[in-house]
A and B are shown apart, each in its own frame.
Chain A
Amino acid sequence: MRKQFIIGTVAAIAVALFPAVSSSPAMADDAAFATCTDLASCGGMDALIKAAQAEGSLNITTVLRNWADYGDAIDTFQAAFGIHINDDNPDGSSAYEINSIKTAPEASAPDVVDIGASHIQDAMTGSKTGGSIFAPYKVATWNDIPALWKDPAGYWFGNYAGQIVIGYDAKLKVHPTKVKDLLNPVFKKVVGIAGDPTGAQEALMTVFAASVANGGSLDNVQKGADFFHQLKTIGNLSGANADSTHIATGNPKVWFDWSFNALGTQQAGQQIGKTFYYVKPSDAGILGTPYIFGISATAPHPAAARLWVEYMMSENKGHLAKDLAGDEATNVASGTLDGAKLFGQLMGGQNIFTLGGAIPIEQVAMEKKKLLVPSPSSIFQPNPAADKLTLQQPSVAQQASATSLLKMAWPKI
């Protein structure tokens, strides 16, 4: 009896400590949507929408509303399809996204992730059996994605990229137009970079920009590290992380940023009575490696996940949720439109990225089809010399070699 008591106690503690294993919420007829690999095998757009609506919600992770205008994409998707989006941990990292697919309890695990290209390899070998944690799926616009940025089997594909630009407080007496301008002594202690380049993708791309601006290349970013060393030596480099919170506190006053963060930072600035300008530098045209979509192989809402990537990769020139009006609004809200018509009414995900200052992955194809909306001209200060630059895009291999150089060089700058 005493023994039983001990076993009972241990069992009770074990039950209390280990997360309860929940039963699978997936419905039987939902199973097909976990394995279908394109619209045709999913039974067409209407069937996909219906199944996604039956699932009722979508789990995304690590998405900031003011990042690449994701907020408008979320609102429009929710309004058009009546599917609620749960966004877990907006400030998380790519590593966090992949770990949540692997370890989060089924009900709260992400359906789809948006990761940095350096994490593709990790995700493709991350399952328990050493295979991909993603499920293969090719969106309707698959052929418009450049071959370099999609997996031939459909396990992952690029969605948008950003350009490295310079943001600054409009009150500054000197307005920078190129990377090298930041060496001007008027910027004492206030030049910011968005984190540690071995931890933040944006900071890594900034070092690429500094390298190119100073006669270096994408293959060797030593000149980029040297530039930051010079900034630090003359006392211009701020130790403050160039995120929107620190920018709001007044340090940094000049900083490197993704082009698609400009609009959100400007709007946040208005709320506290500050004007922030952004300019594309004329001595470095760096296009970041694109961010990558992957649908979780163990997605709790497989149909909604597929509908979300179909929407985010769609190219239409329709309206955002907040701009829908009159008959259109009524039609979209009624839920009676068939899939193709509904997509036609909406601003496609690729164009929402454009509105947010990002470069959509399907940009070239969309320009040809005259489907691309113009990027809002008010975001960037005019800088004709910068517009003439051909943008350079570091490859995943170049990123890896830059990272190993910076692991040694960055703490010493």
Chain B
Amino acid sequence: MSHTPVSRAPVHNVGGSVRAFKKFSFLGIDRTFLGIVPFLALIGYFFFYPIAVVFNRSIHDSHNHLSISTYKALFSGDYRAAFIGSFELAAYSMAISAVIGAAICVALVKTNGNTKRVISAIAGVLTSTGGIPLAFSFIASFGQEGLVTKALLNIFHWDIYAGAFDIYNFWGILLVYCFFQAPLMVIIFTPAVENLKVEWQEANETLGGSRLQFIRHITIPVLFPAFLSSCLLLFASGFSAYATAAAMSNGTIPLVPLVIGNLVDGNVIAGEANQGDALAMGMIFVSIIVFAFYAVVLRIARKK
């Protein structure tokens, strides 16, 4: 609570009510805690409770006996392949999108307000247009009978499908992922870039520093923690995406979310939902690691 005096009378009142408020406590817990009860209830019911259910089911077999065999299976064969596939897709899309997104952010800093507003609006729209709409806009544009494919063929007599190009393979899906990952990077990285103060550049110049020195000794050290934490968010986003991949593949690209889909919501495999739950716990575990890194990076960044 701020104690900055604005005018006399309110200050007295505010101080009074704060003192009165602090007197009450419930089971030794500060009453200010009450304010976040609805929030805690919400994430408790929609976040922690489902995780607990998934965990509980993952350690029981179909006869309701305790078993960790589902976890052993994660480290071999098709489930291991799925984790590797998801990891590769997340890592590649993170690397490409982070570089492209950061470049756009840096380019935007020097532009005027309108350009910035337009670009960030577009980024916002693209970020939330992942999934099936994005997959189908790609199919409609770059599919075998897509608009762009046909235009290139008819106008430039260039058949993009004559060579290795395809949107229905790993690289095609990676390309589509970058179309929601790069805008996400623009959105989360822009505030960091905007924090680079013009005064620092002026100070650098006044002290006789070169442009390269400015980038090396000021820009990179200042932006690096934010860049790293943005990368981690991109990784998590790419690792967990389901709908886009589901719309663009038929299972020949192993990805964890798709395998979970087959196990818990398929037409062929029955009674192995607990294996799907174990895979989900595996994804949660990876996410925890990613967000632990994220927290560490944020802390380091704040200390600077």
Contacts and interface: CB of A to CB of B under 8 A. Distances in A.
A199 B262 CA distance: 5
A226 interface: no
B264 interface: yes
A411 B168 contact: no
B145 A250 contact: yes
A75 interface: no
B267 A200 contact: yes
Interface string B21-50: 000101000000010011001000100000
Given A122-B271, A237-B252, A238-B168, A199 B81 contact: no
Interface stretch (B93-101, B206-214, B253-261, B285-293): B253-261
B283 interface: no
A93 B265 contact: yes
Interface string A76-105: 000000000000000011111000000000
Interface stretch (A189-197, A210-218, A278-286): A189-197
Contact of A240 (B26, B85, B250, B258): B250
B248 A239 contact: yes
A413 interface: yes
Contact of B26 (A3, A195, A403, A413): A3
B38 A13 contact: yes
Contact of A411 (B45, B82, B269): B82
Interface stretch (A50-58, A113-121, A375-383): A113-121
Nearest to A251: B144
A160 B268 CA distance: 17
Contacts of B145: 249-251
A411 B266 contact: no
A167 B106 CA distance: 51
Given A3-B26, A196-B251, A198-B251, A189 B266 contact: no
B133 interface: no
B249 A95 contact: no
Contacts of A251: 139, 143-145, 168
A13 B253 CA distance: 43
A171 B250 CA distance: 25
B270 interface: yes
A204 interface: yes
B252 A197 contact: no
Contact of B140 (A6, A118, A193, A249): A249
A190 B77 CA distance: 29
A201 interface: yes
A271 to B, nearest CB: 16
Nearest to B164: A235
Contact of B251 (A3, A9, A197, A250): A197
B172 interface: yes
A199 B139 contact: no
B166 interface: yes
Contacts of B271: 121-122
B248 to A, nearest CB: 7
B141 to A, nearest CB: 11
Given A6-B26, A198-B266, A241-B249, A408 B41 contact: no
B41 A13 contact: yes
B252 A203 contact: no
Contact of B166 (A13, A189, A201): A189
A142 interface: no
A17 interface: yes
Given A240-B250, A407-B78, A410-B251, A201 B169 contact: no
A412 interface: yes
A411 B254 contact: yes
A319 interface: no
B267 A201 contact: yes
A191 B20 CA distance: 74
Nearest to B261: A199
B143 A249 contact: yes
Contacts of A240: 139, 143, 168, 248, 250
B75 interface: no
B270 A95 contact: yes
Interface in A206-252: 232, 237-242, 246, 249-251
Contacts of B144: 189-190, 249-251, 253
B161 interface: yes
Contact of A239 (B253, B265, B270): B253
B82 A198 contact: no
A203 B270 CA distance: 16
A412 B254 CA distance: 9
Contacts of A122: 270-271
Nearest to A407: B78
A93 B262 CA distance: 10
Given A3-B26, A250-B144, A199 B266 contact: yes
A201 B82 CA distance: 21
Given A239-B252, A240-B143, A253-B144, 9 more contacts: A3-B26, A122-B270, A198-B262, A199-B261, A200-B266, A237-B252, A249-B143, A251-B168, A407-B269
13 contacts: A94-B266, A190-B144, A192-B250, A195-B250, A196-B250, A196-B262, A198-B268, A198-B269, A200-B266, A239-B250, A249-B146, A250-B143, A403-B268
Interface of A: 2-3, 6, 9-10, 13, 17, 92-96, 116, 118-119, 121-122, 189-190, 192-201, 203-204, 232, 237-242, 246, 249-251, 253, 399, 403, 407-408, 410-413
Interface of B: 24, 26, 34, 37-38, 41, 45, 77-78, 81-82, 85, 139-140, 143-146, 161, 166-169, 172, 247-254, 258, 261-262, 264-271, 273
